[in-house]
Amino acid sequence: MTERLFRFEKTLAGLERKGRRRALLPHDAIDFTSNDYLGLANSPRIKSAIAEALERGVAVGSGGSRLLRGNHPEHQALESDAAAFFGTERALHFSSGYSANTALFSTLPQRGDLIVHDALIHASAREGIAASRAQAVLARHNDVASFDEAIRTWRQDGGMGHPWIAVESLYSMDGDRAPLAELLALAERYDGFLVVDEAHATGVFGPNGRGLAAAMEGRDNVIQLHTCGKAIGVSGALVAAKAVICDYLVNRARAFIYSTAPSPLMAACVREALKILVDEPQRRSEFEQLWRFANGQMLAQLGAPASGSQIMPVMIGDNCRALGIAARMRAEGFDIRAIRPPTVPEGTARLRIAITLNVDRPAIVRMFERLSAISIEEGV
């Protein structure tokens, strides 16, 4: 290996020693790891929506950024439908949740403002925060007093701008919920904004799957991010907010301005998925029964407390041990992945079990039975 490449191999070898090297794995076992919560990724209705869109001449590619030739009527139709669905003045379509979070936090908070973000917020939000001109501080996970203290201290030190409170409504690695009502009250008290990443709640919780912050829709100080690649089953993301906020992003968010627009076909698919959420409420009710059943099995088989959602972490601690157990579960036909630092804090490597409508109760029972047996054998 040449010296030019050796530095990369050396880094990879170090990750291997720490049990932190990543690899791409096939999905050839029963799905206990995806975010396709409502089973829409393979929905016949969405497939039909693609076929129908192609038949009426919708292009596969957008051909450019939204500000150039890439602003397709399908994008505009989706944004209109999404604004009505999520009860906001406007919605803005991004190619991914990552780019949307990057755009939000690098653009909206201004110099002199303060961003207070939960310790476990998505990496994409952290990227945007790092690029922001505003001061940023971390708050303890789901600790309203910690958010309050950070803002109060900033004000006492002369902070004169607006605070921005940044959270996920349902946390992606722990499956617990943010205290949204208390955080909104905090934002109101300090004349601030609340940014809610609904990635793992959209489609699953709230009226018609509008998320855990549905009761806050339309407020001028609440911005919601709804990803389209999880329960909605397609790809991309929607920022739901006041019209002036979305227009500001169109004019100032580099992640929006300089990105090729999402495929118009994907916009058509998301439109159909939003209709499915309204037309097929039984998906959500069936799904809730399923993840509640899985929570019960986790308590019964592993003695682990229920998360109260479809995301159930099994804490292992050691990186290599988590990898080993996940590999054994995949070998027995259950696709479960190990989550390690830096995605989660040091010493909290875990198995992330995600329940979707792609599994049934017998599969859940078998999975937990095997996981319990393997955990005992591994000394967990």
Among residues of the chain, what percentage have pLDDT more than 90? 94
Whether 172 sits among the annotated catalytic residues: the reply is: yes
Q: Which residues pair with 352 in a beta bridge?
A: 313, 337
d(CA 308, CA 293): 11
Task: Note if 35 is an active site residue.
Answer: yes
What is the tens place of the pLDDT at every residue in 74-83? 999 999 999 9
Residue 1 pLDDT greater than 80, yes or no: no
- From residue 41, alpha-carbon distances to 46, 47, 82, 148, 288 in Å are 8, 9, 19, 40, 18
Q: Are residues 286 and 259 in the same domain?
A: no
Q: How much is the mean pLDDT over the chain?
A: 96
The catalytic residue among 124, 172, 235, 295 is 172
Residue 379 clears pLDDT 90, i.e. is over it: no
Selection from 337, 376, 374 nearest residue 354 by Cα: 337
Structure tokens at 32: 């206990």
Prediction pTM value = 0.94
Mean pLDDT across the stretch 147-161? 97
Same domain, 177 and 68: yes
Q: Which residues contact 346 (CB under 8 A, 6 or more apart)?
A: none
98 φ/ψ angles, rounded to the nearest 5 degrees: -60, -50
Percent of residues, the chain, with pLDDT higher than 70: 100
Residues 246, 370 share a domain: no
Last residue of a domain, one of 244, 279, 314: 279
33 lies in the same domain as 75: no
Residue 180 or 1, more confident: 180
Residues 162 and 197 both lie in one domain? yes
Count of domains for the chain? 2
Q: What is the pLDDT of residue 9?
A: 93
**At which of 264, 279, 294 does a domain end?**
279
**Active-site residue flag, 226:** no
Name which of 40, 103, 65 is nearest 241 in CA terms.
Answer: 103
Given 168, 217, 272, 335, the catalytic residue:
168
- Assess whether 247 and 137 both reside in one domain: yes
Is 197 among the residues known to form the active site? yes
Q: Are residues 231 and 309 in the same domain?
A: no
In this structure, are 102 and 164 located in the same domain? yes
Q: What is the pLDDT of residue 129?
A: 97
Q: Which two tokens stand for residue 197?
A: 């990443």
Same domain, 298 and 163: no
Q: What is the CATH number of the domain that holds 364?
A: 3.90.1150.10
Residues 301 and 251 in one domain: no
Cβ–Cβ < 8 Å for 227, 237: yes
Find the catalytic residue in 74, 113, 197, 198: 197
Instruction: Examine residue 51 and state whether it is found in any structural domain, yes or no.
Output: no
In the three-class reduction of DSSP (H, G, I as helix; E, B as strand; rest coil), residue 164 is classed as strand
Sign of the torsion angle spanned by Cα atoms 173, 175, 180, 186:
negative
Domain stops at, among 255, 279, 303 = 279
Read off the pLDDT band of 306 (50, 70, 90).
confident
196 and 118 both lie in a single domain: yes
Residue 31 backbone dihedrals phi, psi, to 5 degrees: -75, 105
Note the pLDDT of residue 24.
86
What are the distances in angstroms from CA 223 to CA 86, 105, 136, 143, 275?
11, 11, 18, 20, 22
The catalytically annotated residue of 75, 93, 162, 200 is 200
DSSP 8-class letter at 365: H
- Please tell me the predicted confidence (pLDDT) of residue 107: 98
- Is 230 catalytic? The answer is yes
H or E element that contains 314: strand 311-317
Which is the catalytic residue, given 72, 117, 122, 226?
122
Print the domain residue range for 355: 25-40+281-378
Of residues 35, 221, 307, 309, which has the active-site annotation? 35
Task: Give the Cα separation of 212 and 118 in Å (integer).
Answer: 17
Between CA 161 and CA 324 the distance in angstroms is 49
Report the DSSP beta bridge partners of residue 136.
Answer: 115
CATH classification at residue 227: 3.40.640.10
Does a structural domain hold residue 12? no
Q: Vertex 301, ends 295 and 305: CA angle to 5°?
A: 45
The verdict on 113 and 255 lying in the same domain is: yes
